[in-house]
């Protein structure tokens, strides 16, 4: 009888242990997060990933070479979140592709800049000068706003942020706007008066967006705050929310300021301030 009782206890303990093991395994799986990024500069996420690891969150960084696939991969469930885009680009892209995605945290502003191999000041750009701009609508619109801020063109008061050449209402220097694929904007520098280059592409090309551009965006460019995005069904996921909180802590802001020397600006504002 005692042997039967002992056997029953052992079996019960084995079942309990297996259940606990299964439960633990499930929890660990829930805390494995795949984050999609674009470009090769992942210093911030490497820093955040080390912090997350201390809390049992394993972050896998998945790199992409363009601005399209990270959102498609997220929508199709290949990623848990992505972090590479401005809220302006995000809103336009998910509307165009009918994707059910949501922002879950703000991260940085990565200033877009005007670069030139020929001129040291935007005022020196001559009559009829060629200006290369990214050919995608939201980044072209962003380029136009930057050109307006630099005093080179004028846009309508109701400008919607989407670029097309016919939206320029005043072009006193008769600048020739040359749309090119965003990734090519650094390569065309020898052939144009100036080229407008996205921050990440500029960094990959060896530029410091603050030191090497002849004009760049200010820190108040709210539509161009970068975000962490997730599928809408996962926007309240505790692990993803915690990852956003870890990103927005003071030590990350200090790391960004020290590491990037102003070329990337920590901008941890509530989602309600950026619009969607």
The pTM assigned to this predicted structure is 0.71
Q: How far apart are CA 188 and CA 206, in angstroms?
A: 15
Mean pLDDT of the chain: 89
108 three-state secondary structure = strand
* Strands 215-216 and 113-115, sheet pairing: antiparallel
All residues at 6 or more sequence positions from 22 whose CB lies less than 8 Å from its CB, including other chains: none
Q: How far apart are CA 46 and CA 31, in angstroms?
A: 17
31-111+222-273 shares its CATH topology with 113-216: yes
Question: Terminal CA-to-CA distance of the chain, rounded, Å?
Answer: 69
pLDDT at residue 165, rounded to an integer:
93
Listed by start position, the domains of the chain span 31-111+222-273, 113-216
Q: Which DSSP string do the residues of 133-186 spell out, in sequence order?
A: EESSHHHHHHHHHHHHHTTS-B--TT--S---GGG--B-TT--EEEEE-GGGTT
Please compute the mean of the pLDDT values over residues 174-185 and round it to a whole number: 96
pLDDT in tens, 226-267: 999 999 999 999 999 999 999 999 999 999 999 988 888 899
Q: CB of 244 within 8 A of CB of 228?
A: yes
Question: Structurally, what CATH architecture does the domain formed by 113-216 represent?
Answer: 3-Layer(aba) Sandwich (3.40)
Q: Which CATH class is domain 31-111+222-273?
A: alpha beta
Give the bridge partners for 114, in sequence order: 196, 215
Dihedral sign, Cα of residue 199, residue 200, residue 204, residue 210: positive
- Token pair in block for residue 245: 């909180």
Q: What is the 3-state composition of the chain as percent helix, strand, coil, each rounded to the nearest 5? A: 45, 20, 35
- Token pair in block for residue 258: 């020290």
Of all helices (H) and strands (E), which one includes residue 42?
A: none
pLDDT at residue 219, rounded to an integer:
61
- Token pair in block for residue 73: 């991969």
Please compute the mean of the pLDDT values over residues 65-73 and round it to a whole number: 94
Dihedral sign, Cα of residue 163, residue 164, residue 170, residue 174: positive
Higher pLDDT, 275 or 104: 104
């Amino acid at each position: 009888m005692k042997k039967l009782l002992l056997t029953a206890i052992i079996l019960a303990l084995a079942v309990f242990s297996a259940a606990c093991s299964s439960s633990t395994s499930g929890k660990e799986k829930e805390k494995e997060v795949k984050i999609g990024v674009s470009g090769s500069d992942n210093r911030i996420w490497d820093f955040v990933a080390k912090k997350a690891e201390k809390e049992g969150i394993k972050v896998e960084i998945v790199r992409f070479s363009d601005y399209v696939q990270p959102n498609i991969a997220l929508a199709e469930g290949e990623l848990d979140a992505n972090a590479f885009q401005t809220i302006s680009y995000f809103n336009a892209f998910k509307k165009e592709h009918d994707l059910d995605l949501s922002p879950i945290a703000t991260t940085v502003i990565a200033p877009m800049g005007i670069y030139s191999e020929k001129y040291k000041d935007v005022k020196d750009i001559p009559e009829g000068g060629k200006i290369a701009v990214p050919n995608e609508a939201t980044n072209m619109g962003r380029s136009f706003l930057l050109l307006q801020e630099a005093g080179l063109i004028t846009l309508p008061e109701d400008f919607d942020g989407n670029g097309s050449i016919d939206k320029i209402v005043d072009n006193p220097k008769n600048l020739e706007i040359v749309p090119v694929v965003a990734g090519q904007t650094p390569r065309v520098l020898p052939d144009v008066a100036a080229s407008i280059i996205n921050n990440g592409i500029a960094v990959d090309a060896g530029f410091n967006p603050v030191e090497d551009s002849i004009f760049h965006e200010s820190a108040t460019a709210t539509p161009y705050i970068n975000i962490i995005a997730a599928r809408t069904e996962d926007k309240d996921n505790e692990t993803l929310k915690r990852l956003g909180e870890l990103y927005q802590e003071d030590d990350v802001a200090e790391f960004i300021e020290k590491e990037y020397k102003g070329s990337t600006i920590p901008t941890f504002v509530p989602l309600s301030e950026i619009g969607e």
